[in-house]
Structure 1
Amino acid sequence: MRTVPSRPDSSAPVPPKAKGQAKQLSVKQERDARRAEKVQAMLAQQKRQQRNRRIGWISGLAAGVVAVGLIIGFVVSSATPKVDPASISIGELKTFPGLTANHVTGTVDYEMTPPAGGDHNAVWLNCGVYDQPVPNENAVHALEHGAVWVTYDPAQVDEAGVQTLRDELPSTYVVLSPFENLGAPVVASAWGNQVFLEGVDDARLTDFVQKFWRSNDAPEPGAACTGGLNAAGKVA
């Protein structure tokens, strides 16, 4: 009879892994652990930096708010209160109530010189500085929009005087122009109001501008003072 070789017993115990294999697994685990510690330390450092930046940003913002508050408080406390135009009194002020404001063609015979209101051309004069006389009918239309028209007699006001007027007047809603045979060195006109001044340094000019510049008493206050007619001699 032929003998059959015996098969290995599957239930026999499996020999343990070699000691070198166990040691290699332990080293890998230690390396992973160290890497994890470094990652955690780096994340913690990043969080601290972010927190410090937030604290610095908030502190800077708070300091800025405080500084702005101090500046505003100083300006408000030291600012001069705005003068009520109705409370300003101007000596020898002439008033012309009940003026009509129709659009007409051609020239208009005004009741005052220079004109301080009344019927006028449909196109307003652009506000600015002119070194030549401007059309009355267009200038009156600018007065209707709340502008102040300052005229000067070129025979009585020299170039330095004109510059004084320019420095004194606002940069918008003002017409400054020469006017022949004016009857005074300087005349300031607004819609329905006018004052004859003794010279370029007459303090009433400042009062007149404060009282009537862009006044709501004009028929069309706040309407445009640009986009109309640029008369000859406009220099600014």
Structure 2
Amino acid sequence: MSATPPGKKPTVKQQRAAERERKLEEYRKREARMKRNRLIAIWSSVGVGLAIVALIVTSVVLAPRAANYTAGGDGAEIEGVETFENESQHVEGVVDYEQTPPAGGQHNPAWLNCGVYEEVVPNENAVHSLEHGAIWVTYDAEALSDDDIATLRSKLPSTYVILSPFEGLDSPVVLSGWNVQLQVDGVDDPRIEDFLEEYWQSQNVPEPGALCTGAIDGPGKVA
């Protein structure tokens, strides 16, 4: 477009050309701005995606891995295991148990959902879970560190097990099944795995294979 001489009014053609140039320049700026915003949005999405992936990977890596055991046992003898002759009966209210923690006996009609608890759970409901073949792993919260509890948790199967603190234990860790019990002095005792392998989901319980979910949660359930 030719420049307009000083003092001379632009022609209509020149005015239209100037207007087209102005609009074209606005379009270019708008397109550049939109392109910049799109790039920002794309890289923001990539950043969020990478953060989510990292979080998932970290969760998988840090999450406690469940140990594998075979349901039922083969009659192996484990040093220190005590056996009892408690009978099964559904009752309401508080029960005075002969063992500490209980290893069978009268219990509440509702079982305790299996899982990891950070608070003391009701005996009467936990015993009902034992009746279904679950193992109740109890520990003295004052005797174990957080690392000890994490180690203990890593030895447990993913289901049919209850982990909870318990007051008044004679040993730092006590494992209880229906009418069987083992006391150990530390979380590294190999008999922990031996006990779980022998008595986890045992067929020698009043209600083998019955559910360990779908009933009630105790206080402090974390998993």
TM-score of Structure 1 vs Structure 2, range by shorter chain: 0.5 to 0.7
Which whole-Å CA distance do the structure 1 matches of 2:94 and 2:104 have between them? Answer: 14
Shift of 1:180: 1.4
For residue 102 of structure 1, what is the aligned residue in structure 2? 89
CA contact (8 A) 2:72 2:202 kept: no
Cα deviation, 1:55-78, whole Å, max 9, x if unaligned, reads: xxxxxxxxxxxxxxxxxxxxxxxx
CA contact (8 A) 2:107 2:124 kept: yes
For residue 181 of structure 1, what is the aligned residue in structure 2? 168
CA contact (8 A) 2:72 2:201 kept: no
Bigger relative CO (Cα 8 Å, ≥ 6 apart) = 2
Q: How does 1:5-16 map to 2 (within 5 A)?
A: none
CA contact (8 A) 2:71 2:200 kept: no
User: Which structure has the larger Rg over C-alpha atoms?
Assistant: 1
Matched, 1:162 2:146: no
TM-score (norm 2): 0.67
Matched, 1:210 2:167: no
Matched, 1:90 2:90: no
Which whole-Å CA distance do the structure 2 matches of 1:220 and 1:85 have between them? Answer: 16
Which whole-Å CA distance do the structure 2 matches of 1:148 and 1:191 have between them? Answer: 8
Select which of 110, 129, 143 maps to 1:123: 110
Shift of 1:89: 1.7
Matched, 1:225 2:222: no
Structure 1 residue ranges without an equivalent (≥5): 1-81
CA RMSD of aligned residues (A): 1.4
For residue 175 of structure 2, what is the amino acid of its counterpart?
A
Structure 2 residue ranges without an equivalent (≥5): 1-69
For residue 68 of structure 1, what is the aligned residue in structure 2? none
Which whole-Å CA distance do the structure 2 matches of 1:225 and 1:217 have between them? Answer: 16
Matched, 1:135 2:122: yes
Cα deviation, 1:72-130, whole Å, max 9, x if unaligned, reads: xxxxxxxxxx7982342211110002x22111011100110000000000000000000
TM-score (norm 1): 0.63
Which whole-Å CA distance do the structure 1 matches of 2:96 and 2:167 have between them? Answer: 17
For residue 150 of structure 1, what is the aligned residue in structure 2? 137
Aligned residues: 154
Which whole-Å CA distance do the structure 2 matches of 1:212 and 1:83 have between them? Answer: 8
Which whole-Å CA distance do the structure 1 matches of 2:205 and 2:73 have between them? Answer: 14
Overall identity of the aligned pairs, in %: 55
For residue 196 of structure 1, what is the amino acid of its counterpart?
Q
For residue 24 of structure 1, what is the aligned residue in structure 2? none
For residue 114 of structure 1, what is the amino acid of its counterpart?
P
